[in-house]
Structure 1
Amino acid sequence: MQQNLQPIIKDLVLIGGGHTHAIVLRMFGMKPLPGVRITLITESYDTPYSGMLPGHIAGFYNHDQCHIDLQPLARFAQAQLYIDRVVGLDLENKKVICAHRPAVAFDLLSIDIGSTPATISVPGAAEYAIPAKPVSQLLKHWYQIVENFAHKPQESLTLAIVGGGAGGVELALSMQAHLEIEKRTRGLTDESLMPNLTIHLFQRNAELMPNYHHSVQYLVHQLLTKRGIQVHLGESVCKVEPNKVICESGLTVECNHIFWVTAASAPLWLKAAGLATDEQGFILVNDRLQSLSHPHVFAAGDIATIVNYPRPKAGVFAVRQGKPLFENLRRILLGKPLKPYKPQKQYLSLIGTGDGRAIATRGSFTLPPHKLLWHWKDWIDRRFMKRFSNLPEMGEPKDKVKFPPSPYPPLSHSSSVMRCAGCGSKVGSTVLEKVLYRIKQEQPIREERQDIVIGLDTPDDAAVMQVPANKLMVQTVDYFRTLINDPYIFGQISANHCLSDIFAMGATPQSALAIATIPYAAPAKVEETLYQLLSGAVKVLNQTQAPLIGGHTTEGAELGFGLTCNGLAYPDKLLRKGGMQPGQVLILTKALGTGTLFAADMHRQAKGCWIDAAVESMLLSNQVAATCLMKYGATACTDVTGFGLLGHLMEMVQASGVAVELQLETIPVLPGARKTLQKGIFSSIHPENLRASRYIANFEQWEDHPNYPLLFDPQTSGGLLASIPVEQANSCVAELKALGYESSGAIALIKKHVAGTQPITLIHHSSVRQDL
């Protein structure tokens, strides 16, 4: 039997989720290239839009309105999304070095990581100043300042902003406007404002905003002075101390917070990798946005310097480079000539003043602050952001992709390669050997295992383990399709999920066998995917001292992974579902909602921060929780997975012959899960799980409760559900929270079952608390 496929042949890796790459992803979603796997590596699920950031600080936009959510965008572009920090490049071997994951291989690389304020040359700036980038850290501090100011508006507050370019000016105006509003909303007069709030703006040059026409410089200076912002021109900051700015002239200003918005700089790893850079460390590129030293590397946005067209580091250029970068990435993949790009010399700047007005300037033409200009700017910015919230239907691939040399013919929408099924679909032995060798070198098992008689080091047909005579062997198996477009994270989630059955039964993991389905690809791409996948799984297995001792790999249409896990338990320590006793309390260790969240993600309806929280929960192993529950006298336990909370609870109830009073309001919920359920987004297995509602005596009274659908939501790598004595409940929950299981809580009381009645009753929160 044979199957049609379009194998992966080339890896395009994008570093950074800036404006340019956001546009590139959107365009690849509209015009996909078969055979090309796109991977975005970025530090956060969302990326700020610089045009709306000052308005956000001024209070005109909320967080979502001024951030591009990369999760649905990556899903639209069918791109892998890796959340990590890049720390280096191995250009010779074409690998991206990350801080917290294995190296990522590429054939073609594009870099759009923006820039950061230069702080290295000023002593104390890195320790005591708040840099304007990364924006997430700037906003974290700003939110705290606003909160503190709102609660204590009578206390004096002094802010210092170092850097008098456009960014520093807009930041000063926006902060001042927002804090003034905070004063007025609490009934304080303008007279009480000025003595309590002071903002200092330091500029080393004789004029503000040196890249702009002098008419703008004069207008901005007048505006800052009128608004009570103290401007220090010609003052070069030479030192920063805690709550103190010191200038070369001797000027010293004490302040509560210092913001650093100076000239842009680049991370040191770019130059260290061997890329051609300018004196400031920015990547030198030609007119086609291609590195001067490495033709397979492209760069755009603030991190790039076009040698023939030097321009200021401004967001307007990053936005306009999106389409030409996409065209040239696509052309080089198709083997076509690249197109030159020439940025405009002059551009329109609309500078928000924080008070619902804006200044317009282009070259020597300048308009003073006006509300109509702000409305114009607001319309432009909102229109840009709509491009990423209202994603169109994905287009059909039309171009033939030519990647010589390759073991496969060119790919197109109408062409495909025939691949065998059965044993012919196995991953090649050479690929598997390479992957296992790499993983063993990078993640060696810390101690020799005498109980492994035959493992991966021998060519035998099966693994052999020695089982102690005084222990029981506990075995479980699970396998599922990928739910996240990151094989390394998926490997970790899968391993945690599969090991949970071992922990739920009070056993200690001993070993594991893997089964993996790898998407059709050229051998090198199969190796990369399998390497990322097994690296994640082995990381988790090694943490539990349960080595991978064998497995099976095959090729298929999509990524899938599972483990057969073996554990050992003493007969008298074995936990089962049938040990619940009346008078006990049920403890749940993790929040619910992964089923609906990832169903929403498939439909591009889930926010990146929701998926981030869900992934964080799924990466939390149940091992420590199981130990804690046993410490406090757990008599029955299970893990909450595919059948949902109610399905697994019913298994425990029926095995124990008891009844349960379940409190919906105490059930922990992952961020965003209620919202996706309210939209009617359910997992495909949710309707089947819903059949268990017949066991609820009073479901009609509760089915409109927002938490009710969560009872039937299938979980991946969910928490443990255990019964413990009621007198131990508070101490157990407190310790679980201290151990990192922050969502842990008592959710139900166990009662005697009355014959002829339904075993589950939904009750109010106060009933549970009273019994505790």
Structure 2
Amino acid sequence: MRTTEQPVLRDIVLIGGGHSHVGVLKRFAMNPVPGVRLTLICRDTHTPYSGMLPGYVAGHYSYDDVHIDLSKLAEYAGARFYRDEAIGIDRSRKRVHCRNRPDVPYDLLSINIGSSPRVRDVTGASEFAVPVKPINGFNNRWLGLLARLENHQGPMTVAIVGAGAGGVELALAMQFRLRKELAKRGDDAGELHFHLFDAATELLPTHNPKVREQFARKLKQRGIRVHLGSPVVKVEAQRLTTEAGDSLAVDEVLWVTRAGGPRWLEDTGLALDEGNFLRVRDTLQVENDDAIFAAGDIANVTNHPREKAGVFAVRQGRPLADNLRRAALGQAPKPFHPQKKWLALISTGDKYAVASRGEFAHAGRLVWRWKDWIDRRFMKKFTDLPAMEESATLPDTSAAQSKEEAAQAISAVAMRCGGCGAKVGSTVLSRALGELKPIERDDIIVGLHAPDDAAVLRVPPGKAVVHTVDFFRAFIDDPYIFGRVAANHSLGDIFAMGAEAQSATAVATVPYGIESKVEDVVFQMMSGAVDVLNEAGCALVGGHTGEGKELALGFAVNGLIDPDQIMSKGGLRAGDALILTKPIGTGTLFAAHARLAAKGRWIDSALASMMQSNQSAAACLRRYGSQACTDVTGFGLLGHLVEMTRPSGVDAELDLTAIPVLPGAEETAAAGILSSLQPANIRLRRGIREQERWIKHPRYPLIFDPQTAGGLLASVPAHKAEACVAELKSLGYPHTAIIGRILPQGEAIEPIILRA
């Protein structure tokens, strides 16, 4: 993460990863505002560039060619990236409601979430039509549709509702792609039929007659039937009906019209037009709330109405960033006037395009090459990110809105005496923790429900206490997700022993800052942690929070276990099968993330794995007779396996090809991007027989990769292994694999044998 010595004074929250907001992130990355922090809330890690989507559908571009990696861009901008969906705004408290996490406070808010087809306005459309917008979810819908069409046998009819530029482009691109796929498998492309419907009486009504004529001719040449002045009034399974009563049997219906804003905006009290779009002034501020901005499709600039096109969202990025900057510094935003004429380059799917601007029109393959050059240049701005120079500066309080805030900011970075242990103030803590609801257990005599100098726990008869502690600094800038991972990691040792988690005591370090910002970080982080602890039946009973330069969190966890049912590292038995429940690779992936060298979807996969509890897996392994288990963490897979072989008095054979690996981990390791702990772990290579034979194997560096919240490494009797793996997969551990076997101890001093 990019860190700064500047205390946070103002939070700008961006809802949505649309074209305007990627421009805001880039501009703030190149010219950050001291004391101003950006947070991006978006449900998708990769956002598509609408100008290249038709080319992607036609098969001319790959997924990565047309998608901007928001995780990487946010990291580059020093912004927090919260992968979630906004579902409401509390303007009185300045909070954004999210679907799966605590509310996110803001000082300034910007909305760039695009629009969605109003399919509910037409009977059956929401059930039987595939909406093209919002474009951030288009890829999954397109891949599903493509799979259905590719597997279709016999004649196939596709209807597209909407004959504007978007609908026409999509129809031509889809037809080109599907004809190509049919030709590959030797089917007759003549059995593929496309129909284009619109209530309007003209194609592309916002473009000049020359452009409309070009596309009318192209659609006719390609055999796409056009039904103008024919509003669709009903969609059923494999049937579409127009207002005139015409009925068409169809296999698929795509919806590219009647867009509007999401329904949750209606509950915000913000100024909306009849389409549920936000009414904004020339400054891009919502008409009735100066603290909220909007851009792109979701915004209706009332003095300058324009069609919903990506070109306007792109060009609003710069004025939006500038006005957010001004507002954060207490300055008046400036008006923005969009151009009256704009260039549109509309493709036909077959590397041919039409240029449209005012009354100008021109078409040809050269126009497509021009469009391709423009689009690739645009994407390069957000994929080729120049290295940023870090600079240390004195505290800058220009974003402070009061003398009290400025004083807090200066105090936040001033040298602390340390006499108070750098503790966070009690008022801040009580407010932050007051909303948390940790579970209560009957065996907790004194805990958070009745705070005292220490927690008091009861140990039931016949049980022994298992105790462990873990602590580490944040490796992502989302405190809620970090809290979940930290708690999950800390519980890992308890579950690996076969124990039940009883209680946890937290130790946290939070960065210096003004009280309101520190309070929110503590609340977000501990909310994530408590969610995980509660799911595990583990009561949070106390803790300590101090100030420091970096966010960090750890837990001392107590568990309860039957002394006769312990799974230990020394329980490996010759003949057992070796099982791993989660893929490895978190160390190299997050090292790459810090260097902007990891794809956002790789980080998503890693975080999903790290947030998955080992509780059910441990219970399953125990049911199948496991007596040896450990969680794979800092020492890496090899280090933990060596740890197990020594007390067990056995050797182990490890199959490199069978080891489950997180997406992207082989690529980042091959690029030489490794965790800072890797060199220490590699010293354990002396435990491998003939290790020089395996140095060039792509999985070799990953067996030393340190893991955070990794899976369980366990042995089970060989005859039960397949059934155990099948049950683990059914419990939600899809990557579980048998990765080796336990051997009697040989004469060689090296306990590990590799094979592939």
Cα-to-partner distance string for 1:86-141 (whole Å, 9 max, x where unaligned): 11110110000011111111111011001111212111111111000233543324
Q: 1:567–1:406: structure 2 CA closer, same or farther, 3 Å change rule?
A: farther
Matches within 5 A, 1:251-330: 251-330=246-325
Deviation at 1:409, TM superposition (A): 2.7
CA contact (8 A) 1:35 1:411 kept: no
1-side partners of 2:702 and 2:338: how far apart?
A: 52
Q: Secondary structure at the match of 2:501?
A: strand
1:383 is aligned to 2:373: no
The alignment's TM-score, normalised by the length of structure 1, stands at: 0.95
**What is residue 72 of structure 1 aligned with on the other side?**
72
What residue in structure 1 maps to residue 242 of structure 2? 247
| Alpha-carbon distance change, 58 to 609 in structure 1, aligned in 2, over 3 angstroms | same
Aligned to 1:132: 132
What is the Cα deviation at residue 149 of structure 1? 4.6
Contact persistence 1:32–1:397 (CA under 8 A) = no
Residue correspondence of structure 1 range 51-450 to structure 2 within 5 A: 51-135=51-135, 137-150=137-150, 155-187=154-186, 192-194=188-190, 196-368=191-363, 370-394=364-388, 401-405=398-402, 407-409=404-406, 417-440=414-437, 445=439, 448-450=440-442
Contact 2:409-2:513 at 8 Å conserved across structures: no
SS at 1:439 equivalent: coil
Quote the offset at 1:9 in angstroms.
1.7
Please identify, of 676-685 and 260-269, the stretch whose mean Cα deviation from structure 2 is larger.
260-269
Preserved CA contact (<8 Å) 1:264 1:313: no
- Per the alignment, residue 716 of structure 2 pairs with 724
Gaps of 5+ in 2: none
Q: 1:561 to 1:484 in 2, by over 3 A?
A: same
Q: Given that residues 685 and 714 in structure 1 are in contact (C-alpha distance below 8 angstroms), is that contact kept between their aligned partners in structure 2?
A: yes
Is contact 1:6-1:416 (8 Å) kept? Answer: yes
Taking a change above 3 Å as real, the CA distance of residues 417 and 326 of structure 1, as seen in their structure-2 partners, is farther
Does the 8 Å contact 1:112/1:301 carry over to 2?
Answer: yes
Report the secondary structure of 1:435's partner residue: helix
Note the C-alpha offset of 1:544.
1.1
Question: Is residue 540 from structure 1 mapped to residue 532 from structure 2 by the alignment?
Answer: yes
CA change 1:19–1:645 in 2 (3 A) is: same
1:160-197 CA-to-partner distances (Å, cap 9, x unmatched) read 10111111000001001111222333455xxx322x10
Cα deviation for residue 142 of structure 1 reads: 2.7
Q: Is the 8 A contact 2:638 2:703 kept in 1?
A: yes
Contact 1:130 1:138 in 2 (8 A): no
Contact 1:512 / 1:563 at 8 angstroms: preserved in 2? Answer: yes
Residue of structure 2 equivalent to 1:770:
none
CA 512–204 in structure 1, closer or farther in 2 if over 3 Å, else same: same
Is residue 397–residue 406 contact of structure 2 (8 Å, CA) maintained in 1?
A: no
Measure how far apart 1:598 and its partner are: 0.3
1:321 counterpart SS class: helix
Residue 397 of structure 1 and its aligned partner are, at CA, apart by 8.9
Which residue of 2 is the match for residue 769 of structure 1? none
**Which one of 712, 718, 734 corresponds to residue 704 of structure 2?**
712
SS across alignment from 1:354? coil
Structure 2 CA distance for aligned equivalents of residues 187 and 122 of structure 1: 38
> Is the Cα contact below 8 Å between 1:647 and 1:689 reproduced in 2?
yes
User: What is residue 49 of structure 2 aligned with on the other side?
Assistant: 49
Residue type of the partner of 1:610? W
- The aligned counterpart of 1:451 is 443
Q: What does 1:602-621 align with in structure 2 at a 5 Å threshold?
A: 602-621=594-613
Alpha-carbon displacement from aligned partner over 1:696-744 (angstroms, at most 9, x marks no partner)? 0021111111111110000000000011100000000000001110010
Contact 2:36–2:399 at 8 Å: present in 1 too?
Answer: no
Q: Which deviates further from its counterpart, 449-458 or 549-558?
A: 449-458
Spell out, residue by residue over 1:629-660, the C-alpha distance to the aligned partner (whole angstroms, 9 max, x if none): 00000010000000000000011001101000
Asked if the contact 2:114–2:134 (Cα under 8 Å) also holds between the matched residues in 1, the reply is no
Whole-angstrom CA distance in 2 between matches of 1:650 and 1:675: 26
Q: What code does the residue aligned with 1:431 have?
A: V
Distance change >3 Å, CA 702–CA 623, structure 1 → 2: same
Tell me the equivalent position of 1:767: none
Give the equivalent residue in structure 2 for 1:33: 33
Give TM-score scaled by structure 2 length: 0.97
Q: CA deviation at 1:515?
A: 0.8
Corresponding residue number in structure 2 for 1:700: 692
Q: Which moved more, 1:215-224 or 1:651-660?
A: 215-224
Q: 1:437: how far off?
A: 1.4
Cα distance, 1:352–1:725 mapped onto 2, change above 3 Å: same
Contact 2:197 2:231 in 1 (8 A): yes
Contact 1:400 1:411 (8 Å CA) reproduced: no
AA partner of residue 305 (structure 1): N
How far does residue 432 in structure 1 lie from its aligned partner after superposition?
1.1
Q: 1:407·1:522 contact (CA, 8 Å) conserved in 2?
A: no
User: Residues of 1 paired with 2:306 and 2:115: CA distance?
Assistant: 14
**Would the alpha carbon gap of residues 422 and 129 (structure 1) be closer, same or farther in structure 2, given more than 3 Å must change?**
farther
Question: Structure 2 CA distance, aligned partners of 1:69 and 1:675?
Answer: 17
Give the 3-state SS of the residue equivalent to 1:159 in structure 2: strand
Deviation at 1:410, TM superposition (A): 7.8
Contact 1:425 1:556 in 2 (8 A): yes
Query: How far did 1:458 drift?
Result: 2.9
* Rounded Cα–Cα distance in structure 2 between residues aligned with 1:293 and 1:498: 47
**Residues 46 and 515 of structure 1: is their aligned pair in 2 closer, same or farther, counting only changes over 3 Å?**
same
Q: Distance in 2 between matches of 1:661 and 1:76?
A: 42
User: Which secondary structure state, in structure 2, belongs to the residue aligned with residue 633 of structure 1?
Assistant: coil
Q: Is the 8 A contact 2:574 2:650 kept in 1?
A: yes
- 1:422 positional shift: 4.8
RMSD: 1.8
Decide whether the 8 Å contact of 2:50 with 2:135 is kept in 1: no
Q: How does 1:586-601 map to 2 (within 5 A)?
A: 586-601=578-593
CA contact (8 A) 2:70 2:600 kept: yes
Moved over 6 A (4+): 410-413
Instruction: Write the letter of the residue equivalent to 2:89.
Output: L
Which one-letter code corresponds to 1:10 in the other structure?
R
Question: SS at the partner of 2:435?
Answer: helix
Q: Give identity over the alignment, percent.
A: 52
- Residue type at the aligned position of 2:729: K
Residue 574 of structure 1, CA deviation:
1.1
Establish whether residue 489 from structure 1 lines up as the match of residue 485 from structure 2: no
Which segment is superposed worse, 418-427 or 350-359?
418-427
In the alignment, the residues of structure 1 paired with residue 430 and residue 143 of structure 2 have an alpha-carbon distance, to the nearest angstrom, of: 51
Distance 1:16 1:561, change over 3 A: same
Contact 1:660–1:748 at 8 Å: present in 2 too?
yes
Counterparts of 1:262 and 1:79 in 2: how far apart (Å)? 34
Deviations 1:576-611 (A, max 9, x none): 100101010111000000000000000001101000
Amino acid at match of 1:339: K
Q: What pairs with 1:736-755 in structure 2 (closer than 5 Å)?
A: 736-755=728-747
| Cα shift at 1:312 | 0.8
